Amino acid sequence: KRVLNCMCGAFSDKWLDVSRRCGKNAEPLQVPWGKHIDPQQLDAALATGAFDAVTLIHNETSTGVMNPLEELCAVARRYPEVVLIVDTVSSFSAVPIPMDELGIDVLLTGSQKALALPPGFSLFSVSEKAFVRAMQQADRGYYFDFLEFKKNQDIDMTPTTPSIAHINALQSKLDDIFGEGLTNRYERHRRTNARVHDWVRRRGFEFFADESYRSVTLTCVKNNRGIDVADLMKRLRVKHHLVIDGGYGKIKGETFRLSNMGDETEQTVSHLLACLDDCLPPS
C-alpha cells in the first residue's frame, strides 16, 4: 500500500521526497504553511483504504505549528492496518507524548532540539506493531533496520559502533530532566512560551500559526510590521551575541523564529526578548 505524508511546512514537506527516494509509493496530505494537519482530512484520506503508513511531524518548526497530536492519533487508531510514524524532534520532553496510549508506532526524536544536546544522534521507539510490519518488509535496509536494533538490544549490544559521547550526554540530560521533573519541565515550556507570546502581541507582531495550533516550544513571528529581519538578526548578534532564526525556506524574512525549547528558562527568554527590544526599530 501507500504511505501518506502529512505536510504543513518545510520539514514535514521533506518526508514526501524522502519516502519516494526510499522507493515508497507516497502521497501528500498537504496544507498551506502556517496551517495544521486537520484530523478530518486525515480521516478522509485513511478511509480510502489506500494507505498503510502515515508520517506526521508533531511540531513543525518552520511555521511554529504544533499539530493536534491527540486528535490525529485518535483518527489513526481507527485504522489498525496503518502504522503511524511521528517525528517529535522539537517537542519531545517539552510536552507529554504518551506513545503507547496514543498508538504511535514509530516515535522519532533528535538530540539537538527539544533535548538541547549537540547534534549527531537520533532516538526512536518502535511499537510491537511496527516490528511485525518490519518483518513483512523486504528491502528495508540495514542501517535503520528496526529488527537489527531489536536483535542487538536483546543481547545488550548496539547494532553499530555508536557515538559514545552522545550516549553519555544523553544520560546526563536524562538525569537533568528527571531531576527537574517532567511536569515541571512541561510547565516551564508553557511559561516561557507564554512570555514569548506576550512579547509578540505587545510589540504589534502577529503569529504565523493559528491560535490553538501554536507550538509550545518555538514561535514563528509574522513580520507584519515589515521590519528588516536580516538587520535585526545582525544587530542582535553583534551587540548581544544572540542568534535568532530569520525564517526558514520560502518564508525567510517574512517571519522570524524564537525558540523556548530545551534548556531555555524564564531568565534566558526574558533576556532574549529584552535584547530584541533593544535592537528592534521603533514601531
CB 279, min distance to its own copies, A: 27
18 vs 174 by CB, closer to its own copies = 18
| Residues between 60 and 119 with contacts to its own copies, criterion CB under 8 A | 110, 112, 118-119
44 vs 165 by CB, closer to its own copies = 165
96 vs 120 by CB, closer to its own copies = 120
Going from the C-alpha of 47 to that of each of 2, 76, 77, the distances in angstroms are 13, 10, 12
258 SS3 class: strand
C-alpha 122/C-alpha 88 separation (Å) is 11
Find the binder of its own copies among 49, 96, 98, 120 (CB under 8 A): 120
Binding flag, residue 43, its own copies (CB under 8 A)? no
Interface with its own copies by CB under 8 A: which range of 15-23, 91-99, 100-108, 172-180?
A: 15-23
CA 271 to chain centre: 25
For the record, the C-alpha cell of 45 comes out as 484520506
Question: Measuring CA to CA, which residue among 123, 62, 63, 113 is closest to residue 91?
Answer: 113
Binding flag, residue 17, its own copies (CB under 8 A)? yes
Site string for its own copies, 125-154 (x = CB under 8 A): -------------xxxxxxxx---------
Q: Are strands 218-222 and 122-126 parallel, antiparallel or unpaired?
A: unpaired
Find the binder of its own copies among 121, 207, 213, 248 (CB under 8 A): 121
The answer for residues whose C-beta is within 8 angstroms of residue 83's C-beta and 6 or more apart is: 52, 53, 54, 105, 106, 129, 130, 133
Interface with its own copies by CB under 8 A: which range of 16-24, 46-54, 74-82, 171-179?
A: 16-24
Binding flag, residue 165, its own copies (CB under 8 A)? yes
**Contact between 36 and 64 (Cβ < 8 Å):** no
C-alpha 122/C-alpha 105 separation (Å) is 16
Binding footprint of its own copies on the chain (CB under 8 A): 17-18, 21-23, 110, 112, 118-121, 138-145, 161-166
